[in-house]
Structure 1
Amino acid sequence: MKDRVETSNDALNFLYGRIDYERKDMPQRTRSFQLDRMRELMRRLGNPQDHLKIIHIAGTKGKGSTAHMIAAVLSAGGLRCGLYTSPHLETLEERFVVDGHICSATELIELIGLIRPVVTEMDKLADNGADHTGRPTFFEITTAIALLFFYRQHVELAIVEVGLGGRLDSTNICHPCVSVITSISYDHVHLLGNTLALIAAEKAGIIKPGVPVISGVRQEEPQNTIREIARQHGCPIWTLQEDFHVQVRSAGLSRPSQQAQRFDCFLDIDAHQQSWSNLKLALHGSHQLDNAAVALATLACLQQQGWQIPPEAFPRGLASVRCPARIEVISDHPTIVIDTAHNQASVESLVQYLATQERSSRQILVFAASCDKDVAGMLALLLPCFDVIILTRYATNPRSLDIEQLEQECQLVIDQFDSEASIPFIESSQDPGTAWQRARQLAEAADLICVTGSFYLAGEIRSLITGQHAAQIAS
């Protein structure tokens, strides 16, 4: 047992010792991101991605949820599928999933053992100046792990989520059977551009010649950019609101755990028509209906390519899909909602969701954010919705914004409130564990606790909650 633990720690230390742009400040120039190094890494591993049928998904938000929906339907239809998403919430293994089962720690150690000698050789060449591409990064290695894992697991389809952007992302060494762009909004503007058209161009960098494109982008400017890039590459493109449509069936105020989203979706492409009626979606938030429509259009595209997906797989998959920390209602009494919203657009979706719920007696927000995010934009949307704000700083990522800066941002937002507006009570806790304890101390049965602002905050507090729940069951 001791040897196994030491082996596990050694493997993870090797991986976490790499340059990791999820944990450090992003470079100001995209020259730090390149595909030559990733291509060389995959070549040395035998190019397993060339043997995979891949669904490649980019987008500012919604790509993780869409990926989970596609995977759920494919698995419900009996197809063996892999799912690669990032970042993880609680454990690294979450990034690598086959048929709903997370990669085991033993499998991960074995995969790292296969890749490590190749990475070490590339490191030596880079250090000696014999290779100008440099040392493989954390995300490049995890992407290689995913592709090698899926190849060894003999998956029929692999769903691969872009890490950042698209054009220069490490996942963009694949040649997919479908390219998907879920949405476009402002995030990582110092890398991707400060207009929606520029951001769309980076996301559309995943488009490959002749490969069908599914787009959930609604705004005209980025939509036109994506459409033009698809035309240049000779790709058919299906676009939300033009080629496929979604219509909600039920709406209204309810308690979060009681909400069941039902919707219809209709596809009309040239001579091909397809419809789904009265589908039930297990995920919360009206924005998830757009993601579901994109997932359905992607699956219909696969059917056109000859993939056999039985009709009953669609309602079964969507009704059972789970996507942790995407407006995830952990419990009632008090209601606890965890969401990974980390930019203005995703916070807006969260706020819209909360507006459809019966307002709790007191609404408590636990908030932390990364220093490179639009914190003011997020807080301007969130503060009017809550009675108590608990600011904190997550422990697992050094990009977390200082609490003092969060307090200043809150005050700037409050200074813009109308004179008659209710001002929330603001306090701070030095770490997520203390913040969570304080929120539970304040909350009564009829209250709401919402945790949001960052993937890392959501992961840390979710781990605390699920750990406490497991302990209660065990006792």
Structure 2
Amino acid sequence: MTYEQATNYLFTRLPMFSRIGAAAYKKDLTNTLRLCEYLGNPQTKFKSIHIAGTNGKGSTSHMLAAILQTAGYKTGLYTSPHLRDFRERFRVNGEMIEKDFVVDFVKRIQPAIDEIEPSFFEITVAMAFEYFVYKQIEIAVIETGLGGRLDSTNVIVPEVAVITNIGWDHMNLLGDTLPAIAFEKAGIIKPQVPVVIGETTSETKPVFEQVAAEKQAPLYFAETQRYVAEWKYDHHQLVLQVADSGSDDRNTYQLDLPGYYQTKNCITVLEVVYHLQKAGYKITGEQVQKALRQVKKLTGLHGRWEVIHANPVVVLDVGHNEDGIKQITAQIELSDYQHLHIVIGMVKDKEVEKVLALLPKEATYYFTRAQIPRALPEDELAARAQATGLNGHTYGDVNTALQTAINKADKRDMILVCGSVFVVGEVAEVGSMR
């Protein structure tokens, strides 16, 4: 079996949420536990940090992995979905999983797949756990896929649990109120395990307090411990002055993730680091600063207000739900450009109208779609956008749309590609365009 045959087997044999949506979602942990048992329960053989949340969990995961790597710990990182390469989901000290391991794992797990009938995501979780044991990591950063309570990753007992925030996403699966969604995310809280909450609202905070009390889990709200006193942009870097609440102490952090929304993720990360230090992890302030300057280089993170071209500026952002788009529009307002072009594609199961209503009406739009079954057809997206006052043309694939935008744009313009992880993942090298 070749690597291509192995991944093709995984993509075609197993139900895959990113392609078909809710039909691939398994609403219990039985399959994951059976897979782990088949493999000798690898999830019990390494330490971890578990991260859930509506937005920001990917950035938070990568920041924490970068910090742990910089502090000298052999660090695993499991995230989803991938942008371009399946192996992006599994990293150790920033390096992607070896193709040979993927092939060997698929061969070994096939009898269990035939017996258990797991989803694609359940298999990738089991693969990650097995890989981290194989690589003898010291700690892993594990990002949930969807929700928390019933997410396949929720078979670990972490050093710290983290919930970044609660917003509107996957309501068809997680609930149609913020407290209901918060309850699902709070499912990662474990007995006696510290839990750090990034952002709360009056609706979600009581949910966390209740679940943490029931589990006797120490509960910490990051936004009450520190705040961003000052910030500025400097050459596509975000420079933050972070102050401790109740004191005048300030520390400066320079992030290579320039989106203003990273200020909130940074506050969450710093609180998690504090609890890791309390637990005995040797992490210095200098190591934190060094890591945050080079998160992308250390961990391979892409698609978070990522500037990939200048004159015109081309930006990629994977924001795709109501809260994510709010963060993007706030970033647009902070940006300097002559005219804005937006290349956008979405998937069918998002709150499309709510997202479109948030986008700037004065931009020129290029409506497109990713090449997956879940994608909303570009003609339908354009019609729904027009009803909210957004105008543009349709394109059958992302790169035709982007090429057209580049051809039309003045050098002082800005082009934003957003609306779906899968749309961003299909963007080709801009250097090969024009």
TM-score normalised to structure 1 length: 0.86
Distance in 1 between residues matched to 2:392 and 2:403, nearest whole Å? 16
Match of 1:408 in 2: 383
Superposition pairs for residues 249-328 of structure 1, below 5 Å? 249-251=230-232, 257-266=235-244, 277-322=251-296, 323-328=301-306
Contact 2:379/2:394 (<8 A) preserved:
no
1:110 aligns with 2:104: yes
Contact 1:370/1:401 (<8 A) preserved:
yes
Distance in 1 between residues matched to 2:311 and 2:431, nearest whole Å? 18
SS of 2:426's equivalent in the other structure is helix
Distance in 2 between residues matched to 1:434 and 1:302, nearest whole Å? 46
Contact 2:382/2:391 (<8 A) preserved:
no
Distance in 2 between residues matched to 1:258 and 1:36, nearest whole Å? 45
Which of residues 389, 393, 401 in structure 1 aligns to 2:365? 389
Contact 2:329/2:360 (<8 A) preserved:
no
Match of 2:2 in 1: 7
Letter in 1 for 2:310: D
Contact 1:325/1:338 (<8 A) preserved:
yes
SS of 1:241's equivalent in the other structure is helix
Distance in 2 between residues matched to 1:158 and 1:259, nearest whole Å? 27
Distance in 1 between residues matched to 2:402 and 2:236, nearest whole Å? 24
Letter in 2 for 1:330: I
Match of 1:380 in 2: 357
Superposition pairs for residues 21-100 of structure 1, below 5 Å? 21-27=17-23, 32-100=26-94
Distance in 1 between residues matched to 2:349 and 2:235, nearest whole Å? 33
The higher radius of gyration belongs to 1
SS of 2:327's equivalent in the other structure is helix
Match of 1:468 in 2: 432
| Deviation of the 1:52 alpha carbon | 0.9
- Going from structure 1 to structure 2, the CA distance change for 1:342 and 1:316 (only over 3 Å counts) comes to same
Distance in 2 between residues matched to 1:468 and 1:451, nearest whole Å? 17
Q: What percentage of aligned pairs have identical amino acids?
A: 35
- Going from structure 1 to structure 2, the CA distance change for 1:209 and 1:275 (only over 3 Å counts) comes to farther
Distance in 2 between residues matched to 1:19 and 1:447, nearest whole Å? 41
TM-score normalised to structure 2 length: 0.94
Match of 2:227 in 1: 246
CA RMSD of aligned residues (A): 2.0
Distance in 2 between residues matched to 1:91 and 1:275, nearest whole Å? 42
Which of residues 322, 329, 354 in structure 2 aligns to 1:344? 322
| Deviation of the 1:311 alpha carbon | 2.7
Gap regions ≥5 residues in structure 1: 1-5, 124-134, 415-423
Superposition pairs for residues 122-161 of structure 1, below 5 Å? 122-123=115-116, 135-161=117-143
Letter in 2 for 1:394: A
Higher mean Cα deviation, 37-46 or 398-407? 398-407
**Count of aligned pairs between the two proteins:** 429
Gap regions ≥5 residues in structure 2: none
Distance in 1 between residues matched to 2:188 and 2:411, nearest whole Å? 47
Contact 2:238/2:260 (<8 A) preserved:
no
Question: Per-residue displacement from partner, 1:422-452 (whole Å, max 9, x unpaired)?
Answer: xx64111111121122112112211111000
Distance in 2 between residues matched to 1:189 and 1:320, nearest whole Å? 35
- Going from structure 1 to structure 2, the CA distance change for 1:394 and 1:440 (only over 3 Å counts) comes to same
Letter in 2 for 1:76: T
SS of 2:325's equivalent in the other structure is helix
